[in-house]
């Protein structure tokens, strides 16, 4: 196998691009995909500070690595979910990465912010752990960015994540999630920062290869609650389709973004209010995060 760029020995074959690359040219390919994502969706400019949400996994640390090397002014945000050893280890990876690269890392503990860690929230709400966890993460990312005066939060969602989310939304025809499925969500309220996903053009396998080649020390174990998640089942289905027909995932996601998504955008915009308690954005009067915190407070 030869590198498409330089003709040297290739280390990675990308079937969906019908190409193979050597280590150096693969890294350049990877960076180019991130640059293209940022440019195409006007995610942020070189003058804007970017809050990078990091979990300690390969995707978010690979993203942070690229953005630092591209010269962006980044701050990491690690949300400590209080999920046993997984959180202890993943926090350690983020702290070590930030220290080695000399970049600031902000840490917020869900236990402090909501009143209990994710495993307790799961018990209190009797809902799947990812439900309270996801809600808390979205809320805290936005609030942390606002408080720090940063206009944008970048997350490490990759092509596989995005395709699996889209698959799940389509399976249940979730009409409110479909228009929000985008690599870049604009700020629609002064208290909502932009949310962007600069890795949406890159597969999980590609971010793993990049993290390996860059010698990024990341947490390999998944969150223990990820096991039963439907998103994993959706990823498996999509992987089988990808094996049979390379590019299937890409076509599914990009076809939606380019052709179908506009049709799902709601005619009338949702009215956004400020939560009477915390002032963050909600469609009601008390936001879902404050309701969750109340529920936790009553039970622990």
Residue 29, token pair as written in the block:
């390919």
278 sits near Zn ion (criterion: CB under 5 A):
yes
Q: Considering the complex, what minimum distance in angstroms separates the CB of residue 112 from ligand Q46?
A: 17
CB proximity list for 255: less than 8 A, separation 6 or greater = none
**Residue 230: CA atoms inside 13 Å, Cβ hemisphere, count?**
9
Helix (H) or strand (E) holding 61: helix 58-69
106 sits near Zn ion (criterion: CB under 5 A):
no
Q: Identify the residue among 108, 191, 205, 277 touching Zn ion (CB under 5 A).
A: 277
CB proximity list for 85: less than 8 A, separation 6 or greater = none
14 sits near ligand Q46 (criterion: CB under 6 A):
no
Instruction: List the single partner that 8 binds among Zn ion, ligand Q46, none, CB under 5 to 8 Å by kind.
Output: none
Of the candidates 198, 241, 250, which has an alpha carbon nearest to the alpha carbon of residue 16? 250
Residues in 67-96 that interact with ligand Q46 by CB under 6 A = 81
Helix (H) or strand (E) holding 282: strand 281-282
Alpha carbon separation from 299 to 2, 139, 145, 292 (Å, rounded): 61, 21, 30, 11
Q: Considering the complex, what minimum distance in angstroms separates the CB of residue 209 from ligand Q46?
A: 21
Pick the piece of the chain touching Zn ion (CB under 5 A) from 173-181, 222-230, 251-259, 276-284: 276-284
Specify the residue, 3 or 166, whose C-beta has the smaller distance to ligand Q46: 166
Q: How far apart are CA 226 and CA 209, in angstroms?
A: 22
Q: How far apart are CA 189 and CA 283, in angstroms?
A: 12
Q: Considering the complex, what minimum distance in angstroms separates the CB of residue 28 from ligand Q46?
A: 29
275 sits near Zn ion (criterion: CB under 5 A):
yes
User: Are the C-beta atoms of 207 and 59 separated by less than 8 Å?
Assistant: yes
Instruction: List the single partner that 163 binds among ligand Q46, Zn ion, none, CB under 5 to 8 Å by kind.
Output: none
User: Are the C-beta atoms of 249 and 163 separated by less than 8 Å?
Assistant: yes
Q: Considering the complex, what minimum distance in angstroms separates the CB of residue 275 from Zn ion?
A: 3
Q: Considering the complex, what minimum distance in angstroms separates the CB of residue 26 from ligand Q46?
A: 26
Residue 2, token pair as written in the block:
């030869």
Residues in 218-247 that interact with ligand Q46 by CB under 6 A = 223, 225-226, 229
Binding mask 114-143 vs ligand Q46 (x if CB under 6 A, - otherwise)?
----x----------xx--xx---------
Q: Considering the complex, what minimum distance in angstroms separates the CB of residue 142 from Zn ion?
A: 11
Q: Considering the complex, what minimum distance in angstroms separates the CB of residue 241 from ligand Q46?
A: 22
Question: Running DSSP on this structure, what letter comes out for residue 221?
Answer: S
Q: Give the number of other Cβ atoms within 10 Å of residue 277's Cβ.
A: 15
Instruction: List the single partner that 296 binds among Zn ion, ligand Q46, none, CB under 5 to 8 Å by kind.
Output: none
Residues in 281-300 that interact with Zn ion by CB under 5 A = 287, 290
84 Ramachandran zone, left/alpha/beta (phi>0; psi -120 to 50): left
209 sits near ligand Q46 (criterion: CB under 6 A):
no
Q: Which residues of this chain interact with ligand Q46, rule CB under 6 A? A: 81, 118, 129-130, 133-134, 223, 225-226, 229
Q: Which residues of this chain interact with Zn ion, rule CB under 5 A? A: 275, 277-278, 287, 290
């Amino acid at each position: 196998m030869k590198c498409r760029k330089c003709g040297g020995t290739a280390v990675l074959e990308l079937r969906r691009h019908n190409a193979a690359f050597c280590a150096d040219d693969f890294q350049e390919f990877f960076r180019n995909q991130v640059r293209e994502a940022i440019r195409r969706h006007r995610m942020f400019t070189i003058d804007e500070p970017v809050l990078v949400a990091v979990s300690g996994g390969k995707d978010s640390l690979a993203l942070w690595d690229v953005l630092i090397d591209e010269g962006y002014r980044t701050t990491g945000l690690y949300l400590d979910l209080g999920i046993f050893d997984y959180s202890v280890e993943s926090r350690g990876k983020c702290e070590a990465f930030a220290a080695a690269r000399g970049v600031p890392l902000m840490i917020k503990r869900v236990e402090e912010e909501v009143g209990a860690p994710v495993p307790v929230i799961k018990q209190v709400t009797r809902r799947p752990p990812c439900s309270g966890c996801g809600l808390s993460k979205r809320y805290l990312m936005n609030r942390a960015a606002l408080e720090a005066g940063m206009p944008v939060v970048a997350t490490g969602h990759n092509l596989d994540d995005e395709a699996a989310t889209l698959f799940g939304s389509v399976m249940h025809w979730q009409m409110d999630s479909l228009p929000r499925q985008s690599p870049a969500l604009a700020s629609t309220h002064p208290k909502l920062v932009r949310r962007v996903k600069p890795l949406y053009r890159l597969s999980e396998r590609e971010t793993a290869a990049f993290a390996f080649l860059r010698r990024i020390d990341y947490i390999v174990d998944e969150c223990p609650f990820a096991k039963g998640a439907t998103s994993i089942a959706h990823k498996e289905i999509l992987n089988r389709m990808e094996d049979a027909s390379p590019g299937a995932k890409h076509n599914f996601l990009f076809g939606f973004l380019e052709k179908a998504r506009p049709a799902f955008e709601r005619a009338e915009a949702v009215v956004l209010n400020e939560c009477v308690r915390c002032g963050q954005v909600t469609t009601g009067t008390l936001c879902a995060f404050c309701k969750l915190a109340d529920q936790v407070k009553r039970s622990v």
